[in-house]
Amino acid sequence: MTTEDQPQIYLITPPAFELEPFAVQLANVLDAHEVACVRLELASSDEDTVARTADTLREVTHARDIALVISEHLMLVQRLGLDGLHLNDARNVRAARKELGPDAIVGAFCGTFRHDGMNAGEAGTDYVCFGPLQAGSLGDGSFAEPELFQWWSEMIEVPVVAEGGLTEDLARQLAPYTDFFGIGDEIWTADSPADRLGVLLSAMG
């Protein structure tokens, strides 16, 4: 696999963090490796907190010409000058696309369901996310099998993101079949997120 064929990196923030230290940490990762997009995935529903966080991270990402999308907060995208919206419910894609227009990024998480991904694609999504990539302790234990990504890459033109529980072995296995790797806790829990991302990148080929 050539460098041009490698999946791009789609970073996902932790659900909670101290803003200033994380902004520095994020900047270090973005300066160390090529990243296509960052998703703000805050658990907080406090709009002021989310807006302040988005403002700070937008300065970090836009200074490096990297897109910043926000999870779920449709009304904040245009208000804060963000690049787009990530939806955890693919059924909302059409409404989000209508609200944000053709230039904004709209993406959707589709779990392990091929049909949801196809519907999201037809509704105007820019990408679909499938995951988690391995069975975890939460939920029903289902996960997105490698065959799903292989089928999608062969049959569907909409870019696909593989996210949730990425390991070096999975990175190696899925690299030929995915356009982006969604990477979050896999690096933020490490002593050096930039170094950990480098290890995962090496495994991609």
Contact 85, 108 (CB under 8 A): no
Report whether pLDDT(139) > 70: no
Q: How far is CA 166 from CA 81, 82, 199, in A?
A: 30, 27, 12
Predicted confidence (pLDDT) per residue in 2-34, tens digit: 345 789 999 999 999 999 999 999 999 999 999
Report helix, strand or coil for 182: strand
pTM metric for this prediction:
0.95
d(CA 54, CA 165): 25
pLDDT at 1: 27
Where do the domains of the chain lie? 3-203
Query: What is the DSSP secondary-structure string of 78-104?
Result: HHTT-SEEEESSGGGHHHHHHHH-SSS
Token couple for 34: 């090529």
pLDDT at 137: 60
Q: Select from 1.10.3720.10, 3.20.20.70, 3.40.50.300, 3.30.465.10 the CATH code of 3-203.
A: 3.20.20.70
| Confidence label for 81 from pLDDT (cuts 50, 70 and 90) | very high
With a CB cutoff of 8 Å and minimum separation 6, the contacts of 136 are 143, 164, 165
d(CA 162, CA 190): 20
**Cα three-residue angle 22-24-29, rounded to 5 degrees:** 90
pLDDT at 205: 83
| Confidence label for 49 from pLDDT (cuts 50, 70 and 90) | very high
d(CA 7, CA 176): 8
Contact 124, 93 (CB under 8 A): yes
- 21 cis-preceded (ω within 30 degrees of 0): no
